[in-house]
Structure 1
Amino acid sequence: MTTGLRERKKAATRQSLHDAAVLLAAEHGVESLTVEAIADAATVSRRTFSNYFASKEQALLHHDRARTVRLVELIRARPARESLMMAVIGAAEQHCTEFAADPEQEERYRALRLHPALLPELVATYAAAERDLAVAVEERLPAGPDTPLRAQILAATLLAAFRVVGQTALERHERDVVDLLRQALTITREGFR
């Protein structure tokens, strides 16, 4: 699906605000970061900032939200004949390729994720991701009375596996996480047999 010029400009502005927030937080700390400073660094008004993000915390964690939204899109785009696990693996591999970041940027993200002031927004981001993923998972499951619950449990389990892979990759300074991801998903699948 191609996006129009307006959507691309909005995405570029959102990314610019996020990048400015991350850079300023890395340089000056999360506590001293202000919405005004982010807007100035991105050369937009405070009002424009507010059109994209409700808080500096949302701007800082935009990358996490964008990644989960994209993962859900990729799962939905997989062929219907694929099993849920194969769809998740295929989507996750493509996702890793698309979001391959430079080590310096990943180091900034690691430092930010550990900051206590961001914990409430990070929890909210993961909760939204879990809900979105559960809907995508449910679309691939056979209909039944326990399908919604099953989808929620599977989504939570998958996100936990992704979180562990991401944290492990950051700790080990690994740039290629596809093998680590395959290993985690295999462990997840086999762990419930």
Structure 2
Amino acid sequence: MTTVDDDGCGLRERKKRMTRSALREAAVRLFGEHGPEAVTVEDICAAAGVSPRTFFNYFASKEETVLPFTADTHDRLVQELRQRPAGEEPLPALHAVLRAAVSRAMLSETWQEEARLLRVHPQLLHRGIAASRSTQGALATGVAERTGRETSDPYVWLVAAVATTAMRVAVDVWQEGTEESDPLAALDQAFQWLEQGLAPPRS
């Protein structure tokens, strides 16, 4: 019999989450203390108490540890888009699944530091860009399925790109704001403007 915890997650999956979290936390701490160039995969593994072989079961490189969205996140985005109500328009559906994804990311104690590292270390920037494009691709897959169009359709890519940009802007606004600023509120505002056709705010 499989043991299931309170959020419906099996024991095996929970252990995987804990290992992934330990690796991310170790990498973020070491990157912050020494800079990404000076930190090796072996350093991260030693700090997290796992082997390099285990590390590569979760991440393709040391830089990938600080990406907010990874391959499993993208799979989940597509699945959640499939589960949205059939008659829902693309933008509201994307807003809902991205809001849920950001909410999950915020549960990580290192999320804000991960985002900061991606911004201040140019050598990590290309990883952030690649992750953003992968997110856009996942959203495009979901939009294509919901609209009955091909994933190569310009409309599909435009909608996915706009939604991805809205999320990125929301995170940037949050980082530049006060301690009380809320990335979810920033995301909601961004999608509200999109749904209003980007008309200039009245105030």
Whether 2:43 is the aligned partner of 1:37: answer yes
Higher percent of residues as helix = 1
Q: Paired residue for 1:154? A: 159
Residue number in structure 2 paired with 1:185: 191
Q: TM-score, normalised by structure 2?
A: 0.79
Q: Secondary structure at the match of 2:106?
A: coil
| Contact residue 91 and residue 163 of structure 2 kept, 8 A | no
How much does 1:147 deviate?
7.3
Shift of 1:189: 2.6
Q: CA separation in 1, counterparts of 2:149 and 2:115?
A: 40
Paired residue type of 2:16:
K
- Confirm whether residue 125 of structure 1 aligns to residue 94 of structure 2: no
CA contact (8 A) 1:53 1:59 kept: yes
Q: 2:187, 2:141 → 1: CA distance?
A: 22
What TM-score, normalized to structure 1? 0.83
Deviation at 1:172, TM superposition (A): 0.4
Question: Over the residues paired in the alignment, what is the CA RMSD in angstroms?
Answer: 2.7
AA of the residue aligned to 1:86:
P
Which residue number in structure 2 is paired with residue 111 of structure 1? 116
Aligned residue number for residue 16 of structure 1: 22
Tell me the residue number matched to 1:91. Answer: 97
Number of the residue aligned with 2:3: none
Query: Could you tell me which of 66, 72, 84 is aligned with 1:60?
Result: 66
Conserved? CA contact 2:91–2:159, under 8 Å: no
Contact preservation (8 Å) 2:81, 2:97: yes
Q: Structure 1, unaligned stretches of length 5 or more?
A: none
AA of the residue aligned to 1:105: T
8 Å contact kept, 1:161–1:185: yes
Question: Which consecutive unaligned segments of at least 5 residues does structure 2 have?
Answer: 1-6
Is the contact made by 1:106 and 1:170 (CA closer than 8 Å) also made in structure 2? no
* Larger mean Cα displacement after TM superposition, 130-139 or 119-128: 119-128
3-state DSSP class of the match of 1:159?
helix
Change over 3 Å in CA distance of 1:126–1:18 after alignment to 2: same
